[in-house]
Structure 1
Amino acid sequence: MRSIWNGAISFGLVSIPIKLVNATESHSVSFRQIHTEDGGRIRYRKVCELEDREVTQAEIGKAYEDADGSMIPITDEDLSQLPIPTARTIEIVAFVPEDRIDPLQMGSAYYLAASGAPAAKPYTLLREALKRSNRVAIAKFALRGRERLGMLRVVGDAIAMHGLLWPDEVRAPEGVAPEGGVTVRDQELDLADALMDTLGEIDLDDLHDEYREAVEEVVAAKASGEKPPEAREEAAPGKVLDLMAALESSVRAARESRDGEGAGPAEEAEVRSLSRRKTSSRAPKETGGKKSTSTAAKKTAAKRAEPKKSTAKAAGSAKKTAAGSPAKGTAKKATARSTARSGDKGAAKSTAKKTASRRRSA
C-alpha cells in the first residue's frame, strides 16, 4: 500500500518511525461529463483571470483570501516552518478507555506501518501495551495543512489510527428529537425487544452495496449493446396501522424469514399513533335496533297518556261530587227544618202543661 504521510509516533521518549496509509478504499462507480450531442469529454482548464490564459501546474501556488478580497501568498516553505511539534510527528497525549470516544467524532481511518527494521521493536511494544491496558491512545498530528486529532487502537497485529473531529466541531442534537411528551407503553417496548431478538445478529461481511452492483450491470449491458435490466418494482405501501400492529407484523415477518418458511415479503405499514377518543360527560344514548326504538316510543307514549287518564278520572270525580253536593245540601236543610218543627211542638206542649198545673194550684 502506498503511504500518504511519513513521520514518527512520539510515545514519551520513545520515537517510532511509521508510514501512514489509507485503511479504506472507495468502490463507487464514477462518471465523466460529456457533450450529449457528440459524446466529447467536458474538461476544466485552469486559467489565470488576469492574463486570460491557461497555466500549468508548476505555475500554481496557494494564497489566503483576506476579508477585503486581497490575496496573501502562502508557500510550502512558510508552512514547513510552522512552530508546532506535530508537523511530522504523531504525538500521543493520553490513554483513555475506548468507550470514552464518541463515534460522532470518528472520521477517516489509517494504518500505521512500521518504517524500517529499527521501528519493529518499539512498534510492537506500543501495540502490546494497548492490548493489555484495553485502552486507546489519543494523539495530535498535522496533515494536509492543518493539525488534527487522532485515536490509535489495535486491529489484528497492526496499529490503526482514526481521525477525530475536535470537540467543538461536533454539533449538539438540538431540535432533532420529537417535541412534546411522547410516552411508550410497556407492551410496545416488549414487542420492540421481541423484534430485536428475532432479527438477531448479522455478519457484516454478508452486506454489500446493491446500488453499485445495479449500476455496474447497467454499464455492462450498455457496453455490450444489450438492453439495460429493468428496475425492480417498488412494493406498494401497506395498510395504515397503529404502532402495535406494525410491531406485531414486523415480528411475525422476521420469524417467518428466520425459520425459512418461504413467506413473501411483509407488508409495509405506515406507523401512525392512535389518537385518544374524546370522552363526553353526557350519559350514553341507547342505540338499539328498530324494535327497541319502537318499544321505547310506546313506553314514552304510555307515560304521556297516564297523566291524561288520571286527569280525566279526577275530572269525572269532580263532576260527580259537584252533582251530588246540591242533593246533600237540600237533605241537610230539610232535616234542619223538621228538627226545628219538632222543637216548636215540644216547647208548646211543655208550656201548656205548666199553665194547667198553675190553674189547679190556684
Structure 2
Amino acid sequence: MHTVWKGSISFGLVNIPVKLHTATENKDIKLRQLHKECHTPINTVKVCEGCKKEVKSEDIVKAYEYSKNKFVVLDDEELEKLKKENEDKAVEIIDFVKLEEIDPIYFDRSYYMAPDSGGGKAYSLLRKALSESGKIGVARIIIRSKEQLAVVRVYKETLVMETIHFPDEVRSVVEVPNIPSEEAVVKKELDTALLLIDQLTTIFEPGKYNDEYRTELMELINEKKAANNIVTARDKQNITPNNVTDLMSALQASLDKTKLKKPSRKKTSKVKTS
C-alpha cells in the first residue's frame, strides 16, 4: 500500500512515528474524449483569453482574485516558504471528543495509519486508550502543504485518520433555497412512514451494496469489445501529411488565382503605352 505521508502524531508526552495510506479509492470508469472524425484523443490546451495564444506551463503564475479581474500574484518561492514553515510543525492531538458529536458533513477523506519504525508500542497504547475511552482524537496535520483538521479513531484494530472540514468550509443551511417551514403533519401519514422505516430497518452490511451503473457500464464495454465494435486512433504521422496537403492546396489555389489576374493587368498596360 502506497505511503502518502510520513511523520509523527502525539498526544501529551507520547510521540508516535506513523505513515499514512489512502483508505479509499475512486473506482469510477474514466472515459476519454475522442475526435469523432478520426478517433484521436482530445488534449486540453491552455489558452490566454487576452492574447488568444497557447500558454506554456513556465509562463503561468499563481494569483488570488480578491475582486473581479483584480489579482494578488504569489510566486513559487513565497508559497514554498509557507509550505516548509508549516511542515515543520508537530502534528498533535489537541482534544478528545465523542464520534457522535461530529456530524458526517464535516468528514472529508480517510487514511489508514501504520506505525513507522519504533512506533509499534506507542501506536498500540493510543489504539487501546481510544477503544477503552470510546473517544476519538482531534488533531491538526499538514498534507500536501495544506493544513487539515483531522480526527483519529479506531477502525478494525487499525488507527484511521479522517480529515475533516473547518467550520467555515461548511456552508450554512440558511443558504439552502426552498426549504419548507415547519408544517403540521397528518398523524396517519406519519405512522405509515414510521412503519415503512421500521420494515426497511436492518444491520448495515457494506458488502451488499454495489455501484450498479459502473457494473452495467463495464458490461456494455466488454460486450462491445467482444463484438469487435472498437475504433483505433489515427496515427499522428498520418494526420500531418493531410494537413500539409490541405495547406498546399490552399496555397496553390491562391497562386492560380493570382496568375489569372496578372495577364489582364499587363494587357491593360500595353494598351495605355500604344
* TM score, norm. by length of structure 1: 0.55
Aligned to 1:115: 116
Q: Structure 1 residue 60: deviation in Å? A: 7.9
CA change 1:168–1:217 in 2 (3 A) is same
CA distance in 2 between counterparts of 1:171 and 1:47 reads: 33
CA change 1:60–1:122 in 2 (3 A) is farther
Aligned to 2:200: 199
1:93 maps to a residue whose letter is I
Aligned to 1:38: 38
Q: Structure 1 residue 208: deviation in Å? A: 0.5
CA distance in 2 between counterparts of 1:223 and 1:46 reads: 34
What's the CA shift string for 1:165-199, capped at 9, x where partnerless?
Answer: 11122122225574344111222222122111211
What's the CA shift string for 1:244-284, capped at 9, x where partnerless?
Answer: xxxxxxxxxxxxxxxxxxxxxxxxxxxxxxxxxxxxxxxxx
Q: Structure 1 residue 93: deviation in Å? A: 0.4
SS at 1:111 equivalent? strand
Q: Structure 1 residue 66: deviation in Å? A: 6.0
Aligned to 1:184: 185
Q: Which of 56, 79, 82 is the equivalent residue of 1:79? A: 82
CA change 1:221–1:153 in 2 (3 A) is same
CA distance in 2 between counterparts of 1:176 and 1:92 reads: 38
Q: Structure 1 residue 157: deviation in Å? A: 1.3
- Gaps of at least 5 residues in structure 1 are 228-362
Aligned to 1:221: 223
What's the CA shift string for 1:121-166, capped at 9, x where partnerless?
Answer: 1111111000000000000111122211001100011100111111
Aligned to 2:130: 130
2:97 maps to a residue whose letter is V
Aligned to 1:27: 27
Q: Structure 1 residue 90: deviation in Å? A: 2.5
CA change 1:101–1:181 in 2 (3 A) is closer
Aligned to 2:151: 151
CA distance in 2 between counterparts of 1:11 and 1:181 reads: 45
SS at 1:124 equivalent? helix
Q: How does 1:348-359 map to 2 (within 5 A)?
A: none
CA distance in 1 between counterparts of 2:106 and 2:120 reads: 30
CA change 1:96–1:54 in 2 (3 A) is same
Matched residue count:
221
1:115 maps to a residue whose letter is D
CA change 1:87–1:36 in 2 (3 A) is farther
CA distance in 2 between counterparts of 1:5 and 1:128 reads: 23
SS at 1:189 equivalent? helix
Aligned to 1:92: 93
SS at 2:162 equivalent? strand
1:106 maps to a residue whose letter is F
CA change 1:43–1:196 in 2 (3 A) is same
CA distance in 1 between counterparts of 2:61 and 2:6 reads: 23
CA distance in 1 between counterparts of 2:17 and 2:3 reads: 13
Question: Root-mean-square deviation (CA), in Å?
Answer: 2.7
* TM score, norm. by length of structure 2: 0.71
What's the CA shift string for 1:301-343, capped at 9, x where partnerless?
Answer: xxxxxxxxxxxxxxxxxxxxxxxxxxxxxxxxxxxxxxxxxxx
Aligned to 1:101: 102
SS at 2:123 equivalent? helix
1:154 maps to a residue whose letter is V
CA change 1:224–1:88 in 2 (3 A) is farther
1:205 maps to a residue whose letter is G
Greater Rg over alpha carbons, structure: 1
Residues 83 and 145 of structure 2 are in contact (CA less than 8 Å); yes or no, is this contact kept in structure 1? Answer: no
What's the CA shift string for 1:29-48, capped at 9, x where partnerless?
Answer: 00111111011111235689
CA distance in 1 between counterparts of 2:163 and 2:199 reads: 36
SS at 2:132 equivalent? helix
CA change 1:16–1:158 in 2 (3 A) is same
SS at 2:35 equivalent? coil
Taking CA–CA contacts closer than 8 Å with sequence separation of 6 or more, which of the two structures ends up with the larger relative contact order? 2
CA distance in 2 between counterparts of 1:90 and 1:142 reads: 8
Which range moved further: 146-155 or 169-178? Answer: 169-178
Bigger proportion of residues as strand = 2
1:221 maps to a residue whose letter is E
CA distance in 2 between counterparts of 1:211 and 1:123 reads: 40
Aligned to 1:64: 63
